[in-house]
Every structure is written in structure tokens, then in C-alpha cells.
Structure 1
Amino acid sequence: MIIADIVKVAIAEFEAKMLALGQHLDTRQLTADLAEQVSHALEDALSAAGCAAFKAFLESYDLQEPQLDINGQTLRLKTFSPKTFLTRFGLIEVVRALYQADRGGPAYVPLDHFWDMNSHFATLDVREAVCFAVAHMTAQESAQLFGKCSFFKPSATAIKHVVEKVHAEIVPRQTVLEANIQEQITVPKASRVLVASMDGVNVPLREPGVPRGRPAERPGQDADAEKQSCYKNAMVGTLSFYGDVPDEQETPERLLGVALARMPEACAVTFKDKFEQHLSVLERKAGPTMTKVFLCDGHRTLWNYADHQKRYDDYEKLIDFFHAEEHLSKAAEALFGKRSAHARAWYDKYRVKLLEQANGAAAVQRSMVYYRQRRRLSKTRQKALAAEQTFFRRNQHRMDYAGFRARGLPIGSGPVEAACKSIVKTRLCRSGMRWLRKGGQRILDLRCYAKCGLWKEFWDAYKAIRKSA
């Protein structure tokens, strides 16, 4: 069918629909109600015209030969079978020729094969819209949104099925898909620093576990230790490129950021593997002269990983300054008491030293020892202070904040902290949510691409693996 024929079908359907809808309109005077009614009428007519034209377009390509030879096998025309598709214009029912071998076996539908819809209900553009929506909101919210502003209006159940189907296609080819996306990332020319960061964030799981941080159950309530939900640690990583420090600013400009996230797993094995794969690609693109920094908070698990991986031997390592600030504040409270003037003065003084002076962490440690020997501290405050002394002693070699600032390097792990919130917490930790690990990972993958500005690259890679399948 040529385009002129499609236009005729669309115009005829549009005209018929508008005339039918307009019979009951009072058009003598323009009112807000009339404008709304005409707007809805146009929407319905445009949807109907699009559906009719697209249906006619597709059916014009169907085969009606009595038999076909496919891969050396003779298939005969058995029947004409209708199938409903969800298109961007709405639902259409397409009648397709169905072929099958005389001895039975799987059916072959040429039309579905031609436009790559053998196993799909939703068209490619609808799949993309649905996946993008679910990356940002629940299936129920997505259905409500499409119901308000789209020609196609899938149910929440249909939306879930579409996302599950797309994810099922991606999983066997995920390595290829990710490699395609990575190759499309361009490192900004002004980049001077590559920063690798990672952090953990608790997510609610729909599986048995012991709730943490809860008091003992009261009499009369379910006293079972195991519940059907629990919180476990998901992992988030960010890879960021920074340029120079802009005028009148103190921190370098972040030029590009890529994030990845994984649902909880033992020892975060898959997360670390994927993080290192991403990092290797960006290191290659950045070139050998790029300054490389591993920058995280003070969690010992993260630093045990970084310190025992040879691939990070050429990285400069730094504890997030704002995390160090928190420990400095706790040390001030242990030494001088909460909200005391002495605590505030000591904190302000040594925060400046930590930030601006070489060996600032050593100065903090000396001061803690000095005041501990001269002040009468309760056992509780002694214990709290000892914990902070241990933290600064263990991480002193990762606290060269003055040196980093002098060289225009970042000292904060804000990007990964923000990614934990925007990618994981905002989407997976809403009231009442509980996740299976597979379902949660499905959302996290989509959300990472959407939040990192890589959605087009992701969808192009998805279409590429569909074509190569």
C-alpha cells in the first residue's frame, strides 16, 4: 500500500469519526465545555484514524500464497488469524495469514515476521514508552499517565508484561547490550579526572528475614522471628569525569557521570564485575594521562575491596570529606559534650585544618589524644572517642584534602550518594513496596539508563540485539 492510500484511509476514518462525535455538540457559542468536548473528539478521531491507517498499512504486506518454502520446509496456508496489537494510536486487530506444515508443528505468520512482532503484543515505540515510564514510576501510575496523555492506554498488568518481556529478551544478551552502550559513551575533551565511587543502600525485599532495628514483638502479635520481608544492601556505583575548577568555585566541574546499580547479592560479586567492566572501557577511552581517583565513604568493606584489587593500584584514594566531617563532629561531641560551645569551637578549628592543611588528619589525631588525657570522660564518651580515633588512624593516608584541592581534584562522593537516592531509594523504597530481586533489578537497569542520559543509547542497543537475534 502506498502512502496515498494510507492517507485516504486515515482521512475517511477521521471524517467519519468527527462527524459522528459532532452530531451532539452545541456549537452556537464557544465555551470552555465546548472547547474541551471538541478537544476530546479530535483526540478520539485522530486515534481512530491512526489505528485504521496503520492496520491497513500492515495488512497490505500480508501474503496469501497457497504455500511457502521456509528453510527447506513446505508450509501451507491454513487460516487467517486475527491478533490484537497495542500501537501508539491504540489497539488494532490485524488479520494475518497463518502457515503450517502438513504434519503439524509451529505455525508461521509471515506478517508478524516481517515487522518483528512474532512474540510481542506492543509495538516497538510503545515498548520504549512503557519501559521509560516504569523506570520513573509504578505500573499503576504509568497506566494513569498514559490514560491522560496518550492515544494508547495500557493497563497496569499489560505494562508489567511488556517490561518483563523486554527484560527477558535483554538478559541473555546483556553483555552485548552493555558493550554497545559503553562504546557510544564519549568522554568530554575537557576531562582531567576519572573518579570511581561506590556505596550501599538498603532495599526492602519480599523474602523471609529478620527485621533489623525493631523492638521485640509485643504479646498477642506474631512472635515468629522470620517475616516475609526484610532489608538488604543493594550496591550503586558511579563513574564520573571532571574538568577544571570554574572561576569563583571551589570544586571541579562534573562533565559526565555513569551509574550502575545491583540488587542485593552475596559479596556483591556481579556488581563488582560489571563495575570493573564499565571502568575498563572508560579508562581506555580516557587515555593513560587521565588522573584516576577512587573516592568513597569510610565503609571498611569498600576499602577492603579497593585495597586488595590490583586494578586500583594506580588510583589515588580518598575518603569522602563530608563523611570525615561527620566523624570529626562525633569526636567533638565525645570530647566536649553535645551542643557545647567547646565542641563547636574545636570542630570548626579542626575542620579547617583537615580541609586546608597538609597532614590535617594527623593534627586531628594529636588533638584527640591531648584532650583525652586532660579531660575526665565517662566510659561511654571514652568508647565513642576511641571509635573516632580508630577511624582517623585507619584512614589518615586517605585524607589528603588539602593536596587534592590544590590540584583541582574532587574531595566528595556526592554523585554516588545522589545516585543511591535518585536511582534506588526514590523508586524502590516507597511506602509498602517489597521487591523480588529479579523484578527490582529489572527496574534498576532501566532507571540507570534513564537517569544517566543514556536512554537513547540503551534503546538503540536493544533494537540492535533484536535484529541480530
Structure 2
Amino acid sequence: MGAQLLSQSGTQVTIEVTVDLSRSLLTSEEAIQESLNEAGRIATTAALEYLDTDGSAIEIAGEVMRTKGKQPKAYQTPYGEVVIERHVYQRSGGGKTDCPLERASRIIITSTPLFAKQVSSKLAYGSAREVQRDLAENHQRPVAVSYIQRISEAVATIIEVKEESWDYVPPQLEAEIASVAIGLDGTCMLLCDTGWREAMVGTISLYDAFGERQHTIYIGATPEYGKKTFLERLEREIARTKARYPQATYIGIADGAASNWQFLNLHTQEQVLDFYHASAYLGAVAVALYPTHLAQQRHWLQESCHHLKHDPGAATQLYQQMLKLSQSSEHSKTIQENLAAAVTYFQNHHHQMDYALYRSRHYPIGSGVTEAACKTVIKQRLCCSGMRWKEKGAAAILSLRALVLTSTRWDQFWNKLNQYGFSIAL
């Protein structure tokens, strides 16, 4: 059983595959997979050798380099390890060597691009040990955990370095984009050195004229004092989106954190306070109005939330009602404190609560996309039981995960890498 190379002519490779069948289908399938992996190793070896030079002198950055002869090197592929003899070049005076084959093949560390793509994609969703188990169990590919981590960090480094220069195109959308909602939020993750810190997510969501979300761009960033790097990355994405959709209305949507609005006010035409954060404060008013009547609290809260969402001027009317109510000295200390917090919140944000107008224009009024991103981009991967992170490792995972979760970007990244290569040392 196995595979063998029958012939190679130009760009065509002919391989014969032999499989020993069994009365057990599972055993036969495992034999098929093993033979196909062997065929894959033969074909990949031929593909790598095809991309090597013929040994002639080459010129790099104005300097002539000559081959030192063919030297063996092991490469990791989706089908297993292959060892090939390839030309290694060096200047006449010595110094750093160069391998044209590795540049032409887009080798990452010692991995072929497809294997690097597979490994890093899997690591975006699960731990290195989970990836190791999956590769061994489902692909017959035993791989060390340390290698999985190295490859994925290398891919993440390319993503980060190329972020400024590589522009990603949104998927083909049938509907015209009428509005773009921009949000940012934070959630805590556990770092080895500094304990629990706030990591950040940013979302840029495209909506049609009927308020249906068509596409979302995700950005994730590890904890950072001042959030300077994260905000610069988000600004770049906003600038690219505005260049692509100049006719759209840009809407900032977030909770009441002042730092959110300091950023969003600079980049959006409309500002919308998340409806669910606003409505949550009405609970304190309901308790102040009906301290001992739970049913009446619920009824008033339901009516007031409906009023806030559907009626023009509702936020101002509710603010005036709770302000008057707060002047009473009949309430307990706890009720007074909760009511004061609601008054302050509405006083600061009622100009961002014209939900009837927003809904008539089909703007989103909830920051659920951004809050969900905190879970999907960060929590589901970086906050599993027992996980603690070093900054470098967490940054790599977030770079991978944001790219994988943003529709079509993962494939676009690999197409660009395949087309342009990368000039960074890994």
C-alpha cells in the first residue's frame, strides 16, 4: 500500500496510489487517508523542487549571490514532513544566507502556506493542545504544541505588519449601504504578569436602507494603557470604510462610558446611546415610584421603555420626571442613590436617546453587535477555564481571530500573502 511517483513532465506529476482494503470500512478509510497523505507528500516535494532555482547566480539588493550547493531541509505540509535538497545562496564575502525557494514558496518558518493556514485557523478557535489532538486524530499529522504556537505567532506577525498596507474588500453585497454603525467596548481577560485587564473590541457594521445588517468588521486588541494602538487601528478601518462608502451615514453606538464618546464623536455624524443601557436605569425610577408594589413597577417600566423607544421627546420627559422625583426626601438612601445615578445618566445622555427618530431612519439602537464581539472575539477563546496569557500570545490569537471572524478576510489575507509574499523576518 502507499503511493509512488510514476512520472513528472513539466508542471504535471503522475502518482500511483495503492490501498489495501479491509472488511472494516473504518480501517479501509484510515488506509486511504494514509495513502493520500503519502501522495500529498510526493506531490508537495515535486511542487517545492519546481519552485527552486537552477543554481545560477542571483542578485538581491544590488549584490550578487551564488549557490553553496543544494542542502537538505525538512518542511511541514498538510500531509506530513518532507525533506528536499534546495539551493542555498550566500555573498562571496560570507554572511547571511538566502533561500530563493522559501521566498517563492511563501514558506512560514518551515511550514508550507497551506499547512500554516490550517494550523493558524484551528488555533483561532481552540487551544494549541486541542489543535494538536485534532491534527493527530483527524489528519494523521503528529505536530508538537510548540510548533503550532510558533507557526501561528508567525502568521499573526504578518497580519499585524501588513495591517496598514493591505486593504481588505468587504464581501459582495447586493444591498446598497445606507448607514455604518461604529462601536467599541472592553472586557476583562487574565494576563500572567498584571492580572485581570481590559481587552478591547471594535466593530464596524454595514446596514442597508431598511436597517438590516449586511457585514461586520471586527477588531480585537490586548489590554493597553490608554488604548492608543487599538484606537489607531480602529481609525484606519473607519477611514477605509468611509472611502468605500462615502454616501453612508456614520453612527456611533455605545454605552455611557465617556472614553467611548470621546472617540466616537470625532468619527460619526450621529451618536446613539445603547437603548438597553438607557432602559436599565428606568428600573430605579420604577422602584422610587412604587417601592412596595412589584406589579406596578413592572407595568410602569414596560410602559416607559415603550415610550422611550417609540415617542419623540420621551427621554427629556422621563428625565424631567425622575429629576422631580429625586427632589423628594421620602425615599430610602439606596433608592435615592439609584435614582440619582439615573438622573445623572439621562442628564448626560438624553441628547443621544431620540430613539423614535433613529428608528424612523432605520438606524440601529442597540450595541449588541459590539457586546457580542466581546464574547465571540475575546471571551470564547481567551477566557476559558484556567487560561492566563502573556501579551504576545494573546495578541497573536486576537489578530487571527478578528481576521477569521470577519467574513472573507481570512481568504483575502492568504491570497495577498500568496501574491505579494512577505519581507519580514520570522
Query: TM-score normalized by structure 2?
Result: 0.88
Matched to 1:425, the amino acid is K
TM-fit CA distance, 1:422: 0.6
Deviates more, 1:98-107 or 1:342-351: 98-107
Please tell me whether residue 356 in structure 1 is matched to residue 310 in structure 2. Answer: yes
Could you give the per-residue CA deviations for residues 125-145 of structure 1, whole angstroms, max 9, x where no partner exists? 111111111111111111111
TM-fit CA distance, 1:449: 1.4
Matched to 1:274, the amino acid is R
Matched to 1:379, the amino acid is K
2:97 aligned residue: 107
Could you give the per-residue CA deviations for residues 218-270 of structure 1, whole angstroms, max 9, x where no partner exists? xxxxxxxxxxxx1111121111121243xxxxxx2111211112111122111
TM-fit CA distance, 1:386: 0.7
Distance 1:99 1:297 in 2: 58
Please tell me whether residue 90 in structure 1 is matched to residue 80 in structure 2. Answer: yes
Please tell me whether residue 129 in structure 1 is matched to residue 100 in structure 2. Answer: no
Q: Residue 187 of structure 1 contacts residue 286 of structure 1 at CA under 8 Å; is this kept in 2?
A: no
Structure showing greater Rg: 1
1:6 equivalent among 6, 13, 20: 13
Distance 1:186 1:62 in 2: 37
Could you give the per-residue CA deviations for residues 199-230 of structure 1, whole angstroms, max 9, x where no partner exists? 1111111113xxxxxxxxxxxxxxxxxxxxx1
2:383 aligned residue: 429
1:256 equivalent among 215, 219, 243: 215
Matched to 1:2, the amino acid is S
Q: Residue 64 of structure 1 contacts residue 77 of structure 1 at CA under 8 Å; is this kept in 2?
A: no
Distance 1:300 1:64 in 2: 63
Distance 1:387 1:52 in 2: 70
TM-fit CA distance, 1:100: 4.5
1:458 aligned residue: 413
Q: Residue 188 of structure 1 contacts residue 255 of structure 1 at CA under 8 Å; is this kept in 2?
A: no
TM-fit CA distance, 1:61: 6.2
Matched to 1:127, the amino acid is A
Q: Residue 288 of structure 2 contacts residue 339 of structure 2 at CA under 8 Å; is this kept in 1?
A: yes
Q: Residue 157 of structure 2 contacts residue 396 of structure 2 at CA under 8 Å; is this kept in 1?
A: no
Q: Residue 184 of structure 1 contacts residue 457 of structure 1 at CA under 8 Å; is this kept in 2?
A: no
1:276 equivalent among 216, 224, 235: 235
Q: Gaps (5+ residues) in structure 2?
A: 1-7
2:130 aligned residue: 141
Equivalences for residues 47-126 of structure 1 within 5 A: 47-59=37-49, 68=57, 70-71=59-60, 72-73=63-64, 75=66, 77-78=68-69, 80-100=70-90, 103-117=93-107, 120-126=109-115
SS of corresponding position for 1:387? helix
1:243 equivalent among 208, 217, 220: 208
Distance 1:55 1:462 in 2: 21
- Give the length in aligned residue pairs: 414
Q: Residue 106 of structure 2 contacts residue 417 of structure 2 at CA under 8 Å; is this kept in 1?
A: no
> CA 1:120–1:340 in 2, change beyond 3 Å: closer, same or farther?
same
SS of corresponding position for 1:241? strand
TM-fit CA distance, 1:437: 2.1
SS of corresponding position for 2:187? strand
RMSD: 2.7
Distance 1:151 1:446 in 2: 24
Distance 1:61 1:192 in 2: 47
SS of corresponding position for 1:325? helix
Matched to 2:147, the amino acid is A
1:406 aligned residue: 360
TM-fit CA distance, 1:74: 5.8
Query: TM-score normalized by structure 1?
Result: 0.80
Distance 1:413 1:108 in 2: 50
Distance 1:333 1:198 in 2: 31
1:42 equivalent among 10, 32, 41: 32
TM-fit CA distance, 1:58: 3.5
Q: Residue 312 of structure 2 contacts residue 357 of structure 2 at CA under 8 Å; is this kept in 1?
A: yes
1:440 equivalent among 388, 394, 401: 394
1:346 aligned residue: 300
Deviates more, 1:254-263 or 1:150-159: 150-159
Q: Residue 135 of structure 1 contacts residue 443 of structure 1 at CA under 8 Å; is this kept in 2?
A: yes
Deviates more, 1:367-376 or 1:268-277: 367-376
Matched to 1:459, the amino acid is W
SS of corresponding position for 2:331? coil
Equivalences for residues 187-266 of structure 1 within 5 A: 189-208=175-194, 230-245=195-210, 252-266=211-225
Could you give the per-residue CA deviations for residues 264-303 of structure 1, whole angstroms, max 9, x where no partner exists? 1122111211212211221122123x22211111122212
Distance 1:457 1:63 in 2: 28
